[in-house]
Amino acid sequence: MDLDEALKLWRISFNVGFSEGFETKEILIRYLNRNPELSSVACTKSGEIVGALMCGHDGRRGSIYNTAVYEKYRNKGIGRKMEQRSLEELKKAGITTGFLFININNPGSEEFWNSIGWATISNIKYLYKEF
């Protein structure tokens, strides 16, 4: 994955929820090394990245982060294809349950995930702590 190109895609695509401080190249390299083969990218024939998502697991549950497709390439099934590829790779690792979070300020994201089979859990809150 060309990380600079993927970072550029994510920076452009997300209204909110993309943190420059958190999404550094070094952190992404560490994530990809811990989770080989699971993340997916979509490219043009000439190799230009038009979509990307990060996928990993903790031995128990799969996770997907940073799913984005450039506006020009949306609604062509690219997001769905990237999700399918990553879930196939998770299955090979024995993982058949996935969780992901969305930011409600990214319009259309919940509709996208729901329409490809992800259920919204209404009684869970997602907490975080910096330490």
Binding interface with ligand COA (CB under 6 A): 13-14, 67-69, 74-80, 102, 106, 108-109, 111-112, 115-116
Which residue reads 């058949």 in tokens?
96
**Smallest separation (angstroms) from ligand COA to the CB of 129:** 22
- In DSSP notation, 104-127 reads TTSTTHHHHHHHTTPPPPTT----
CB 53 within 8 A of CB 82: yes
Nearer to ligand COA, 67 or 86 (CB): 67
**Smallest separation (angstroms) from ligand COA to the CB of 52:** 9
Nearer to ligand COA, 41 or 102 (CB): 102
**Smallest separation (angstroms) from ligand COA to the CB of 98:** 13
Alpha carbon distance 39, 86 (integer Å): 6
Alpha carbon distance 25, 22 (integer Å): 9
Strands 40-43 and 49-57: antiparallel
**Smallest separation (angstroms) from ligand COA to the CB of 24:** 19
Nearer to ligand COA, 93 or 100 (CB): 100
Nearer to ligand COA, 33 or 97 (CB): 97
